[in-house]
Copies of this chain bind each other. A is one copy, B any other.
Amino acid sequence: MTKMANHILFGADYNPEQWNRDTWKQDIALMQEAGINMVSVGIFSWALLQPEAGRYDFAWLDEIMDLLTQNGISVDLATATASPPAWLINQYPDILPVDQYGSRYVHGSRQHYCPNNEHYRKASAELVHQIAERYQNHPALSMWHVNNEYGCHVSACYCNTCQKTFRIWLRNRYQTLEVLNDRWGTNFWSQRYGNWDEIGLPGHTPTFRNPGQELDYARFMSDSLYACYENEVAILREITPDIPITTNLMGLFKPVDYFRWAPGLDIVSWDSYPDPAEGTPVSAALANDLMRGLKAGQPFILMEQTPSAVNWRPINQIKPPKVMRLWSYQTLAHGGDGIMFFQWRASKAGAEKFHGAIVGHSGQKTDRVFMEVAELGQELRNLSEIVDSRVPARVAIIFDWENWWALELPSKPREMKYLNRIMPYYNILFQRNIPVDVIHPSMAVDQYDLVIAPGLYLFQEGYSTKLEEFVEKGGTLLTDYFSGIVDNNDRILLGGYPAPMQKILGLTVSEFYPLGNDQKIRLSRSHSILSRTSYNAAFWAEHVQLISAEPLAVFNDGFLHGPAVTRNHWGHGEALYLATAVDNYLLTEILDNILSQHHITAPLSVPTNVEVRIRETTDTRYYFLLNHRDDDVDIAMPATDMTNLFTGSSAKTIERLRSKDVLVFAERKGQ
């Protein structure tokens, strides 16, 4: 299951239960005008669909489903389990989750359920069963939208049920207490367990918790949320085996290991809310690449984005005119096959009434936001052929949720953020318009020329062998400081850092030197491939002792001396190591050097902050040109024959690309 439709999905979350039937009629008319071809319905309808235990009311939903069918709009039907109704909470108050300090949450917002609560699981299964039975053959049904943004607000629960379930989860994982005690290192601080019932949750402790326990608890909570998902999916698969299933993920969302989830999703979909105040959405680009990577390159759906502004930041700036379109194309360019919005019509009441919507509070189709969406909807009809095309990449960045969790646990040499470890590399490649796959460390790397493993602190068994084989065959590995430090229980890999990569990197690290937040240090060039005599670095330094590597740059600051950037020849390839956070000049030179060695270049030569992306099928290459700049630019197009997909005409030698504008070309292979 990879291709949802023969056109780009275009639609929105649609909540007709908030409106009367007159409005429904206006909705349908406006949807037609906007080119909407799919809507997500019922996400927060539990309380209406099941007004009390045992009683269901599908009348309004029947009506809406029919209305949509009649108007050619397909439905991404929600399982409606994201927010359990008040009557259920009153019946089973222990559905409410508990925070780290032992305080139970209350009803009154949303997502107020403990993922391990049996009553929640049972009641949601029942509801899903009812919905699936009722709509299994409805012509509008084209996709299942399971629950909503799992873990968004409640990604950890400290209730008694979770405690008991955690013990079972641990028993399954470790079989015996001896193993658990060993993996968690419980001889430290007198933490040894003699009985499974002694194990608690990493809650409100006097000081630093056991990191092994914290790491397993993070895994357990991610798995617990997935078990909620599976609880529903099992029913759907049985009743509607042919309907694809998704749940809307959240991109760079720490609490949930989406790599573990991906096999259970037919289609990856996700919600993207970059802050317009931050300019070019580079981290949204990374998230797109990650979402594409979850199922090894299979196109995904952008399930939610705002057409204008959100309402949950302290300050919610709008996407300026043309920017919603620009960013929508960025998603397509990175592998998306659908562009959906939250939401169709701005609510009249409730906590999201100021969230941007396609139809505003005025209800007018002359509002700028509606007009921009409608223009995009019409325009996308010309791009159906890109559906299911793929993004080619020869560079991979390794990304691992377990590493994210482990790296950001406290009591480290210094605090650090995993995303800050990745972004410097991604930023440069983004500016260079070099496509990147974002992959799990267990995935195959044969198809890449360069694999980057930033801050890969947690290093699982087997990674060494794989990376050694990759480099042996001619690949380049680029990794950096504080990588290869612990096993998957956050226990040190002994024998000198980074124990599992000493061989391939040709060095050992004997000391970490965390640097102050405002501290800069100086590096000196020690190899002619670098252009400057000195560079800056920050954040961290190390004492590196070379085994077989050669230094490219060395520390030259106070008591800091010795290799800072190294390169080790290994088989037909090379392994580079950065023992510090080098400045942008140096990182750019290092990356450029590697790219040029492997003859990796951008698809087109364009000015800074103009994005060029490729998608391709067996016979066509699609060029996406996105101008993130505030001014217009001219792009020199290649001599090959390319078709402008908006106009149908051939590309000119020089194409004018307006500020915030987009161009899409098709290049037929073999022509």
Contacts and interface: CB of A to CB of B under 8 A. Distances in A.
A5 to B, nearest CB: 29
A381 interface: no
Given A190-B82, A351-B208, A363 B44 contact: no
A105 interface: yes
A54 interface: no
For the complex formed by this chain, how many copies does it contain in all?
3
Nearest to A18: B187
Contacts of A559: 320-321
Given A47-B192, A103-B103, A363-B494, A208 B109 contact: yes
A242 interface: no
A210 interface: yes
A201 B84 contact: no
Given A187-B18, A188-B44, A211-B349, A511 B111 contact: no
Contact of A194 (B52, B110, B207, B351): B52
Interface in A512-544: 512-517, 543
A489 interface: yes
A346 B485 CA distance: 14
A491 B51 CA distance: 23
A285 B360 CA distance: 41
Contact of A200 (B106, B201, B212, B412): B106
A497 interface: yes
Given A352-B188, A559-B321, A206 B105 contact: yes
B316 A368 contact: no
A274 to B, nearest CB: 15
Contacts of A543: 368
A17 interface: yes
B492 A361 contact: yes
A105 B204 contact: yes
A316 B511 CA distance: 12
Contacts of A197: 90
Interface string A557-581: 0110000000000000000000000
A489 B349 contact: yes
A201 to B, nearest CB: 7
Contacts of A363: 494-495
Contact of A317 (B45, B89, B411, B515): B515
A213 B108 contact: yes
A320 to B, nearest CB: 5
A129 interface: no
**SS class, residues of chain A in contact with chain B:** loop
A188 B347 contact: yes
Nearest to A489: B349
A511 B308 contact: yes
Interface in A11-29: 15, 17-18
Given A84-B190, A206-B109, A210-B108, A314 B415 contact: yes
Most B Cβ at <10 Å: residue of A48, A412, A489, A516: A412
A367 B83 contact: no
A600 interface: no
B191 A83 contact: yes
A658 interface: no
Contacts of A206: 97, 105, 109-112, 153-154
A268 B467 CA distance: 54
Contacts of A185: 18, 347-350, 353
A238 interface: no
Interface string A631-665: 00000000000000000000000000000000000
B510 A364 contact: yes
A210 B315 contact: no
Given A311-B411, A349-B188, A514 B209 contact: no
Given A87-B194, A189-B350, A205 B492 contact: no
B348 A193 contact: no
Interface of A: 15, 17-18, 44-48, 51-52, 80, 82-87, 89-90, 97, 99, 101-112, 152-154, 184-195, 197-213, 277, 308-309, 311-312, 314-318, 320-321, 346-354, 360-364, 367-369, 410-415, 489-492, 494-497, 508, 510-517, 543, 558-559
17 contacts: A18-B188, A48-B187, A85-B190, A106-B205, A108-B191, A108-B203, A184-B349, A185-B350, A185-B353, A188-B351, A308-B511, A309-B413, A309-B512, A309-B514, A317-B514, A354-B512, A362-B497
Give 10 nearest A-B pairs by CB, closest first. Answer: A185-B349, A188-B350, A86-B198, A153-B206, A208-B351, A109-B205, A47-B192, A83-B190, A362-B496, A47-B190
Given A212-B349, A311-B411, 13 more contacts: A18-B187, A47-B187, A83-B189, A86-B199, A106-B201, A108-B209, A109-B205, A110-B190, A112-B206, A185-B353, A309-B413, A360-B511, A363-B495
